[in-house]
């Protein structure tokens, strides 16, 4: 393992996992070794994880002076690691009790912080104590689980900062959301140095009033991620911590407890990756976290680009770059796609609701909406239900609301890793085979000027059906670009020319 020397000469060990921009990772415990973090659910495939074994834990050396275990003094070790890595500013991730250390680092060295990720964070450093009532309330959420009764009498064992290897079997149901995650945590967990832990929180380690005040001046973006079932902290306590930062994003991982990267690795990585990517923004819309990208002057007329099934916002990058000369352009990932939440339930109506919620969350009433395939269907359904919400409407190869002939048979999931949630496919195939008759019945209620773009004979959609859609829409027009189903990627120049003719600069 690589080694660095702290300010007092103590040798500190750290692990490097993956490649890319470094992400310093601080384990909880308190004073636990970093091994239990593993690769953080696969986050190492996106970033280089720099996992520190704090002094006296794991492979790091025991210091000559035990008082250096105190949390406020450990800030200097984090700063030494930053200097050792040669980074002017760092991205910092902290789990559980180490969130207090990260908060102290942010308060003392705000200019060295590029971003901060706090996972199931301890809140003692800012004066918020997790109570027995908090832990019992979290336990009540699990009361229908078979192991709940056995753990009910030991809520104190679930206090924040306890390492998974120390938690009693009675308390296990409260620290992990899934049974198999509990088993994994038990085998990968690092051991906490109990002597160091006692010094870690010794009197003088905290000044909650001063720390809370200092955090209000931290301008770096902050993500606070809580587990739905965590009792230390509960989502409410974690939200209180997030509120102290002026530029914080708060997220709750469904079905997760104190180790969210074990309970649902995909959900954890998508949330953290979206936050760490400077080109990706996130918004809570209708209870779903929707990741999105934006281009152009924020004061320019808005255009919202919505992708097709199994795609994501990146499919619009070239088109967005051109439109951004005269517009503020947004492209978001629908639920179940890309870096947005994957809740597991999907339908065209739910995608319609995603678009509606996104427009409301970003205050984009009157925007031009350009949708492809599934996204076009969602936009069409929204324009039917909310006349006047969409200023102009472009429907690229939308599935017309007629039963497929012949109907699609059962789809087989590919073996490779997917950038979308597979249940999207069978759920929407069923609706394409038997669409709601009201889709077609209400299409004449669309008031927005509408351009329907077909991909010609090579497209997946029957062009005659698209022509019928355009005829039924009072202000509709149909054009064909012989490009197949992916018109905006196959013939982008012609696609943009039709948008300009439709009134987009």
Cα-based distances in Å from 223 to 27, 97, 126, 192: 17, 16, 16, 26
Kindly indicate the confidence band of residue 166, based on its pLDDT and cuts at 50, 70 and 90. very low
**Using one digit for the tens of pLDDT, what is the confidence trace for 400-441?**
888 888 899 999 999 999 999 999 999 999 999 999 999 999
Calculate mean pLDDT across residues 347-370.
97
What's the rounded Cα separation, in Å, for the pair 152 and 409? 48
In the predicted structure, residue 460 carries a pLDDT above the cut 90: no
**Using one digit for the tens of pLDDT, what is the confidence trace for 214-259?**
999 999 999 999 999 999 899 999 999 999 999 999 999 999 999 9
Cα-based distances in Å from 158 to 133, 152, 197, 228, 251: 12, 11, 16, 15, 21
Provide DSSP, 159-208. Answer: -TT--TTTS-TTTHHHH-SSHHHHHHHHHHPPPB-HHHHHHHT-TTS--H
pLDDT for the residue numbered 405: 83
Better pLDDT: 158 or 464: 464
In the predicted structure, residue 391 carries a pLDDT above the cut 60: yes
The proportion of the chain whose per-residue pLDDT surpasses 70, expressed as a percent, equals 90
Kindly indicate the confidence band of residue 167, based on its pLDDT and cuts at 50, 70 and 90. very low
In the predicted structure, residue 330 carries a pLDDT above the cut 90: yes
Q: What is the DSSP letter of 36?
A: G
| Ramachandran area for residue 9 (φ above 0: left; ψ -120 to 50: alpha; else beta) | left
In the predicted structure, residue 172 carries a pLDDT above the cut 80: no
* 107 and 188 Cβ atoms separated by less than 8 Å: no
Predicted TM-score (pTM) of this structure: 0.89
**Using one digit for the tens of pLDDT, what is the confidence trace for 31-50?**
889 999 999 999 999 999 99
What's the rounded Cα separation, in Å, for the pair 341 and 288? 6
What's the rounded Cα separation, in Å, for the pair 188 and 66? 27
What's the rounded Cα separation, in Å, for the pair 359 and 135? 37
Provide DSSP, 233-245. Answer: T-HHHHHHHHTTS
End-to-end CA distance of the chain: 56
Calculate mean pLDDT across residues 486-497.
97
Average pLDDT, the chain: 90
What's the rounded Cα separation, in Å, for the pair 164 and 175? 8
- With the CA atoms of 299, 497, 490 and 334 taken in that order, what torsion angle do they form, in degrees rounded to the nearest 10? 30
What's the rounded Cα separation, in Å, for the pair 184 and 412? 30
**Bond prior to 30 in cis (omega within 30° of 0):** yes
* 89 and 113 Cβ atoms separated by less than 8 Å: yes
Provide DSSP, 292-339. Answer: EEEES-TTSPEEEEE--TT--GGGGHHHHHHHTTTSEEEEEPPTTBTT
Strand order in the sheet with 328-332: 281-285, 288-295, 328-332, 302-306, 368-372, 392-396, 450-454, 476-480
Better pLDDT: 162 or 364: 364
pLDDT for the residue numbered 449: 98
What's the rounded Cα separation, in Å, for the pair 262 and 314? 28
pLDDT for the residue numbered 151: 55
3 state SS of 92: strand
In the predicted structure, residue 149 carries a pLDDT above the cut 80: no
The two structure tokens encoding residue 309: 């099934």
Phi then psi dihedrals of residue 171, to 5 deg: -95, -10
Calculate mean pLDDT across residues 447-469.
94
3 state SS of 12: strand
Q: Which of 144, 3, 139, 189 has its CA nearest to residue 81?
A: 3
3 state SS of 375: helix
The two structure tokens encoding residue 476: 């509709």
In the predicted structure, residue 372 carries a pLDDT above the cut 80: yes
Better pLDDT: 304 or 286: 304
What's the rounded Cα separation, in Å, for the pair 296 and 331? 12
pLDDT for the residue numbered 168: 40
**Using one digit for the tens of pLDDT, what is the confidence trace for 65-94?**
999 999 899 999 999 999 999 999 999 999
What's the rounded Cα separation, in Å, for the pair 256 and 262? 8
Q: Which of 143, 150, 165 has its CA nearest to residue 231?
A: 143
Calculate mean pLDDT across residues 184-207.
66
* 431 and 348 Cβ atoms separated by less than 8 Å: yes
Q: Helices 98-108 & 208-215, crossing angle to 10 degrees?
A: 60
What's the rounded Cα separation, in Å, for the pair 198 and 475? 72
What's the rounded Cα separation, in Å, for the pair 141 and 446? 44
- Cα angle: 57, vertex 58, 62; to 5 degrees: 45
């Amino acid at each position: 393992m690589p080694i660095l020397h702290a300010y007092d000469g103590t040798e500190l060990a750290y692990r490097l996992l993956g490649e890319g921009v470094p992400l310093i990772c601080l384990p909880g415990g308190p004073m636990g070794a970093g091994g239990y973090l593993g690769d953080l659910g696969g986050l190492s495939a996106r970033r280089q994880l720099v996992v520190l074994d704090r002094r006296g834990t794991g492979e790091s050396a025991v210091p000559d002076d035990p008082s250096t275990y105190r949390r406020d003094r450990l800030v200097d070790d984090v700063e030494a690691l930053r200097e050792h890595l040669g980074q002017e500013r760092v991205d910092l991730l902290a789990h559980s009790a180490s969130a207090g250390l990260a908060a102290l680092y942010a308060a003392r060295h705000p200019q060295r912080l590029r971003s901060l990720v706090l996972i199931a964070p301890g809140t003692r450093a800012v004066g918020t104590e997790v109570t027995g009532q908090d832990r019992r309330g979290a336990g009540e959420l699990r009361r229908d689980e078979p192991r709940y009764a056995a753990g009910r009498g030991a809520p104190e064992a679930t206090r924040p900062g306890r390492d998974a290897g120390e938690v009693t079997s009675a308390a296990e149901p409260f620290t992990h959301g899934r049974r198999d995650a509990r088993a994994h945590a038990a085998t990968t967990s690092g051991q906490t140095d109990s002597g160091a832990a006692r010094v870690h929180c010794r009197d003088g380690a905290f000044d909650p009033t001063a720390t809370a005040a200092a955090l209000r001046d931290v301008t770096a973006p902050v993500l606070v991620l809580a587990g739905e079932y965590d009792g230390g902290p509960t989502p409410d306590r974690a939200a209180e911590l997030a509120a102290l930062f002026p530029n914080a994003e708060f997220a709750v991982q469904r079905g997760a407890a104190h180790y969210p990267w074990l309970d649902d690795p995909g959900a954890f990585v998508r949330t953290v990756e979206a936050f760490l990517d400077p080109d990706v923004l996130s918004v809570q819309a209708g209870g779903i976290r929707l990741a999105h990208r934006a281009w152009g002057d924020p004061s320019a007329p808005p255009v919202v680009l919505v992708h097709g099934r199994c795609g994501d916002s990146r499919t619009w990058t070239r088109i967005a770059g051109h439109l951004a000369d005269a517009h503020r352009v947004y492209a978001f990932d629908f639920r179940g796609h890309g870096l947005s939440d994957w809740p597991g339930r999907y339908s065209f109506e739910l995608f319609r609701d995603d678009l509606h919620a996104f427009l409301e969350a970003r205050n984009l009433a009157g925007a031009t909406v350009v949708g492809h395939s599934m996204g076009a269907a969602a936009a069409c359904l929204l324009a039917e239900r909310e006349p006047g919400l969409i200023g102009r409407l472009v429907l690229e190869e939308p599935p017309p609301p007629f039963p497929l002939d012949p109907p699609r048979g059962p789809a087989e999931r590919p073996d490779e890793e997917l950038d979308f949630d597979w249940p999207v496919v069978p759920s929407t195939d069923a609706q394409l085979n038997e669409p709601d008759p009201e889709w077609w019945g209400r299409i004449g209620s669309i008031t927005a000027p509408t351009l329907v773009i077909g991909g010609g004979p090579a497209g997946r959609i029957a062009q005659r059906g698209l022509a019928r859609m355009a005829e039924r829409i009072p202000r509709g027009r149909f054009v064909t670009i012989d490009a197949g189903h992916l018109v905006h990627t196959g013939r982008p120049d012609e696609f943009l020319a039709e948008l300009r003719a439709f009134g987009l600069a």
